Amino acid sequence: MKKVNVSKFIFFPDIMIMSLFLLSGIIYLFIEGLRAEYLVFALFGLLIFSISEYSTHRFFFHRKAPKNKFFLKVLQRLHYDHHQYPNQLKLLFMPIWYSTPQFAVITFIMYLITNSLPNAISVAVGLMVMLLLYEWRHFKAHQPGKAKTKYGNWLKKTHLLHHYKNENYWFGVTNPFVDVLFGTLKDEKEVGKSQTARNIKTENTSSKVKML
């Protein structure tokens, strides 16, 4: 069985940068002195990401292609091109220019709500942990071979069904729970093959728009 090339994941620039951000957050919390409430806020960050993972994927990444060329280029880089070239390494990962501003805004909002920088940083740590888990699961789903666990193989299977059978189902990458809530987790035998799974752009998309 061919092994996953872990170095491709670890040394990808956006992964390395986010890992450094995560390490910085953890070091800060250690310096502040670990408290139980930090774990609670970190778990809240995990929950926020889990919900946004599904909602962003379904309602933003799969939205009808905008006519504005700039936003079209953004969506092409974030997701449209990933469906067209599902195994291209660069397109597997969320660009740092997309994820970092979102995390910064959420962290700032949590600081305003809690009036505590450590609690806000704890939420950011949870967000970053889940992002890296998401990236790892997504990376492995597009690599040859099987996962080490039945659950990992199942996640990989459902993600590949999303890419190669029907793009309107199986939006979860790290877990299926929100798919269950919204009815988009289906038995593959109940879902017909989509003709647009590899090209999720609509007719108003210009083929001349270049990737970012």
At residue 210, the pLDDT reads: 39
Minimum mean pLDDT among 142-151, 152-161, 176-185: which range? Answer: 142-151
* Span 53-68, pLDDT tens digits: 999 999 999 999 999 9
At residue 205, the pLDDT reads: 40
At residue 146, the pLDDT reads: 83
In a domain, 202, yes or no: no
How many structural domains are present in the chain? 1
For residue 139, give every residue at least 6 positions away whose Cβ sits within 8 Å of its Cβ, in sequence order, or none.
Answer: 4, 8, 9, 92, 93
CA–CA separation, 211 and 83 (whole Å): 13
Percent residues over pLDDT 90 in the chain: 84
Q: Name residue, tokens 């793009």.
A: 167
Whether 61 contacts 172, CB under 8 Å = no
At residue 202, the pLDDT reads: 58
Q: What does the radius of gyration of the chain's CA atoms come to, in whole angstroms?
A: 18
Helix (H, G, I), strand (E, B) or coil at 56: helix
pTM as predicted: 0.90
Torsion angles phi and psi, residue 143, rounded to 5: -100, 150
- Mean per-residue pLDDT for 1-9? 79
Which range of residues forms the domain containing residue 106? 6-190
In a domain, 196, yes or no: no
Whether 125 contacts 43, CB under 8 Å = no
* Span 76-119, pLDDT tens digits: 999 999 999 999 999 999 999 999 999 999 999 999 999 999 99
Whether 179 contacts 185, CB under 8 Å = yes
Torsion angles phi and psi, residue 41, rounded to 5: -70, -35
CA–CA separation, 162 and 173 (whole Å): 10
In a domain, 95, yes or no: yes
Nearest to 209 by CA among 201, 9, 145, 90: 201
Regarding predicted confidence, which is higher, 118 or 209? 118
Grade residue 211 by pLDDT with cuts at 50, 70 and 90. very low
Torsion angles phi and psi, residue 118, rounded to 5: -60, -40
In a domain, 182, yes or no: yes
Q: Which two tokens stand for residue 159?
A: 């993600």
In a domain, 37, yes or no: yes
Whether 2 contacts 145, CB under 8 Å = yes
In a domain, 201, yes or no: no
Mean residue pLDDT of the chain comes to 91
